[in-house]
Amino acid sequence: MFLRQVPDHALAQYAYIIGCQRTGEAVVVDPERDVDRYLAVAAANDLRITAVAETHIHADYLSGARELVERHGAAAYLGGEGGPDWQFEWAKGKPDVTLLQDGDEFTVGNIRLKALHTPGHTPEHVSFLVTDEGGGADEPVALLTGDFIFVGDVGRPDLLESAAGQAGAMEPGARTLYASLRGTKDLPDHVQILPAHGAGSACGKALGAVPVSVIGYERKFNAPLREAMDGGEEAFVSHILDGQPEPPRYFARMKRDNRAGPKLLSQGRLPQPDALYASGLAAWLEAVPTAILDLRADAKAFAERHLRGAIHAPLAGGRLPVAAGSYLDEDTRILLVAGSQAEVDEAVRQLIRIGLDHIAGWITVVEALASDARLEKMKSITPQDLPAGAAVLDVRGAGEFKAARVKDATNIAHTRLAARIYDVPKGDPLHVHCQSGGRAAMAASFLASTGRDVVWVNGPFAEIPENQIER
């Protein structure tokens, strides 16, 4: 059996390629939209992708299942549980799609995959038990858990309410998740846990950085799993719903698009934005409304000098999809300010994975700052210099705000800022802070792009004068 985890470090997402080396067939589980990566891994290992499987309708990225089915002839195996509102609409009636019920099995060469209905994160969620029959095994080697069980955590059951707006969904989801977790009690301790996400994902609150685990270890040291197995339902529900981070605004759109079917990439290829130069930038920007994403990691350099209206959306550290997905709509025309063609290529992948396809152009930082397009500066201060009584926007999470906050500050998580733009305080200038300055730089730049007079508070929250803090 061939097994390869294919990570997306920006979204902390894991897809899996599982192949039968005897027959040369392979299945990819939970692929992202740019499927060329999986095809390349398979080809390099003398495999061909003949099947694709999904654990659920994803909220954090666009799936590549439709791309593999309609462009590359793969058979699809999708969860058919969850009721009529939680079906893959794009797959209905297709002869090469199998909708799986709890306990259904399919094979790829001599590898057997068994679907287990594991709802809670979403109603239709399935996990896949993998058995290497070609190697002589009669017990499963792994469980592809999707967003059901992570290393050190379990899937969050609140996204249907907090991201997709389905009021009243989170508590029933938590109770369903409790039952699903207890249903794993008969799995052998040796079974590997192959999750769809790791540390940094917004699909949980305490995901581990170790990419895989085994169920026996998780039963001992995964706190919510242990609580579900050994504790009561009420305690589990309270624990799992408490402190979940605010999801990026684009999550609701991903749910919708993955259910209906993500758009196929034009001619199966990634967008190729035009390279621009200083001499023509001003005219290019005036022609059509355009959002500018500045990919520099250095927030101070961005604040000191950038194109008017640019949003600080660092490519490094997985911040680009969070910023772009939180602040831009799917039909927005985008200009990238980048250091190199390689950065642009990576940024395009990250953006199309969340449905931001209209990447029309790019320009180097050097050319942008030498252009005749108007440049501007974002005002900044240190936390020690925050004026008493200033209008303050705290863009940390609700849990951070609850623990300690600036007196009279308004709290809106930076990932929800565009969705709650009318809740932003009216005072000018508006002082924007977070825990260390990074989230505040992105949020302040977004607000500045809308015309607000902002001041970026650059530095640790702990350095704000104590007489301005309440706990």
Question: For position 403, which CATH number holds?
Answer: 3.40.250.10
Does residue 379 surpass a pLDDT of 90? yes
Residues 150 and 255 in one domain: yes
Does residue 163 surpass a pLDDT of 80? no
Residue 285 lies in a domain: yes
Does residue 1 surpass a pLDDT of 90? yes
Residues 369 and 248 in one domain: no
Residues 163 and 119 in one domain: yes
Angle, helix 233-241 to helix 223-230, in steps of 10 degrees: 160
- CATH number for position 17: 3.60.15.10
Section 149-158 average pLDDT: 96
Cα 436 to Cα 45: distance, rounded to the nearest angstrom: 44
Section 224-245 average pLDDT: 93
Which of residues 260, 282, 301 is at a domain's end?
Answer: 260
Does residue 346 surpass a pLDDT of 80? yes
Residue 167 lies in a domain: yes
Residue whose entry in the numeric block shows the structure tokens 């967008």: 271
Section 210-233 average pLDDT: 96
Residue 394 lies in a domain: yes
**Cβ-proximal residues to 43 (8 Å cutoff; 6+ apart), any chain:** none
Confidence of residue 198 (pLDDT cuts 50, 70, 90): very high
Task: Give pTM, 2 decimals.
Answer: 0.96
The per-residue pLDDT of the chain, averaged, comes to 95
pLDDT-wise least confident of 60-69, 96-105, 132-141, 201-210:
201-210
CA dihedral 232, 235, 241, 245 (to 10 degrees): -120
Residues 59 and 163 in one domain: yes
Confidence of residue 206 (pLDDT cuts 50, 70, 90): confident
Q: What is the pLDDT of residues 310-341, one digit of tens each?
A: 999 999 999 999 999 999 999 999 999 999 99
- The tally of domains found in the chain comes to 3
Residue 326 lies in a domain: yes
At residue 375, the pLDDT reads: 95
Residues 277 and 229 in one domain: no
Q: What is the pLDDT of residues 122-133, one digit of tens each?
A: 999 999 999 999
Residues 395 and 356 in one domain: no
Confidence of residue 372 (pLDDT cuts 50, 70, 90): confident
Residues 128 and 225 in one domain: yes
Residue 265 lies in a domain: no
Section 254-277 average pLDDT: 94
**Cβ-proximal residues to 420 (8 Å cutoff; 6+ apart), any chain:** 412
List the domain range (segments joined by +) for residue 437.
379-470
Contact 350, 313 (CB under 8 A): no
Section 214-236 average pLDDT: 95
- The percent of residues above 70 in pLDDT, for the chain, comes to 100
Which of residues 376, 408, 435 is at a domain's end?
Answer: 376
